Amino acid sequence: MLAGMATSVSGQTLCKPQEEVEFSCPVNQKLVSLCVTQQADSVTQIVYRFGVLGKVENEYAATLENGKVFFFDVAPAGTFASIRQVWFDKGPYRYMMTECLGRACPFEAGLTVYNEEKILMNQRCGESAKTFSVNLVEFSSSAAKSTLKTSLIKSGADIGNDVTRIYDVPEAF
């Protein structure tokens, strides 16, 4: 492991040692990580990183000072599953981390990149994924029933990501 990188319980991450791992997973030969910095039980920074150990290719940080935020939502994925989503927009691109919970999930977690309505990348996480913890959101069955833990993340329920294309969910859901 390279200096300056932490290791999560389930594998490697791009989070720094002083950061808590909120989400991290291997996608192909790279990693996607969502990292949280806390001070006095308050989240002061959320950082998305994508790349390989020692070389971050894409980074987005939301802090109390810079006014940037992340968004979240929960969507049904059939009768026995739901999809948790956390994302941010950077220029015309949307970077969305997902986690599917329940019996009807075709895969556990992934990373999707949109450019307007077009999906540019939709990658499933490898087996050593560390999925969402409760540092940012206590997810429930919907965004309205979920509990936010910081002002650096906001409900994106009104934005409406099309998770049916990502998880191959039947249109009825």
Q: What are phi and psi of 100, to 5 degrees?
A: -110, 130
154 — pLDDT class (breaks 50, 70, 90): very high
76 — pLDDT class (breaks 50, 70, 90): confident
More confident residue, 160 or 41: 41
Q: What is the pTM of this model?
A: 0.86
Rounded distance, CA 161 to CA 138, Å? 20
Per-residue pLDDT, 59:
97
2 — pLDDT class (breaks 50, 70, 90): very low
Residues 37-64 have a mean pLDDT of 94
Residues 124-152 have a mean pLDDT of 85
Which of 41-55, 58-72, 111-125 shows the lowest mean pLDDT across its residues? 111-125
Which of 79-83, 101-105, 148-152, 164-168 shows the lowest mean pLDDT across its residues? 164-168
Q: What is the DSSP string of 106-162?
A: S-SEEEEEEETTEEEEEEE--TT-B---SSSEE--SSTTTSEE--TTEEE-TTT---
Residues 137-164 have a mean pLDDT of 84
